[in-house]
Structure 1
Amino acid sequence: MSIRLVRFALSLATSIPIGLGLWISAAAVAEPSGCAAFKWPVERERALLTAAAAAEVASGAELASLPADAIVLALRPGADAALPTPPERPAPPDRFAGFMRIKQIEKPGLYTIALSAGGWIDALQNGHPLKPADFSGATECDGLRKLVRYRLAAGELSLQISGVATNTIRLAIVPAD
Structure 2
Amino acid sequence: MALRTLLLRALLPLLAVSWITAAPAAAPCEGIKWDVADVRAVFAGEPLALAAGRARDAAPRLESGRLYALQLVPQEAVSLIAPPAKKTLADGASAGLARVRIAQAGRYRVALDVPFWIDVLAAGQSLPSLDFSGDPACSAPRKIVVYALPAGEVWLQLSGHAGETVRLSVTAAP
TM-score, with length taken from structure 1: 0.74
Counterpart of 2:99 in structure 1: which amino acid? R
Partner of 1:18: none
- Structure with higher Rg: it is 1
SS in 1 for 2:110: strand
Q: Shift of residue 170 of structure 1? A: 0.3
Query: 1:104-143 alignment to 2 at 5 Å?
Result: 104-143=101-140
Q: Counterparts of 1:75-154 in structure 2 under 5 Å? A: 75-93=72-90, 94-102=92-100, 104-154=101-151
What residue ranges of structure 1 are gaps of 5+ in the alignment? 1-28
What percent identity do the matched residue pairs reach?
Answer: 35
Helix, strand or coil: the match of 2:129?
coil
Instruction: Return the match for 2:161 from 147, 155, 164.
Output: 164
Give how far 1:80 is off.
1.2
Q: Which of 31, 34, 37 lines up with 1:37 in the alignment?
A: 31
User: Using a 3 Å threshold, how does the CA distance of structure 1 residues 129 and 159 change in structure 2: closer, same or farther?
Assistant: same
Question: What's the TM-score, normalizing by structure 2?
Answer: 0.76
Number of positions where the alignment pairs a residue of Structure 1 with one of Structure 2: 144
Hey, which of these two has a bigger chunk of helix by percent?
1
3-state SS, counterpart of residue 133 of structure 1: strand
How much has 1:55 moved relative to structure 2? 2.1
Q: Which moved more, 1:162-171 or 1:108-117?
A: 162-171
Task: Give the drift of 1:82.
Answer: 1.8
Q: Displacement, 1:33?
A: 7.6
Match of residue 59 from structure 1: 52
Query: CA offsets, 1:66-90, max 9 Å, x none?
Result: 2442011111111112212121112
CA distance in 1, matches of 2:64, 2:149: 16
Are 1:111 and 1:152, in contact at CA under 8 Å, matched by a contact in 2?
yes
Cα deviation, 1:121-156, whole Å, max 9, x if unaligned, reads 100000000000110011112422100000011011
Contact 2:122 2:155 in 1 (8 A): yes
- SS of the counterpart of 2:148? strand
RMSD: 1.9
Range 125-134 or range 91-100, more displaced: 91-100
Q: Report the 3-state secondary structure (helix = DSSP H, G, I; strand = E; otherwise coil) of the residue aligned with 1:92.
A: coil
Cα distance in 2, alignment partners of residues 125 and 147 from structure 1: 19
The separation in 1 between residues aligned to 2:149 and 2:139, in whole angstroms, is: 28
Counterparts of 1:128 and 1:39, CA distance in 2: 28
**Structure 2: gaps (5+ residues):** 1-22, 54-58
Change beyond 3 A, Cα 1:56–1:142: closer
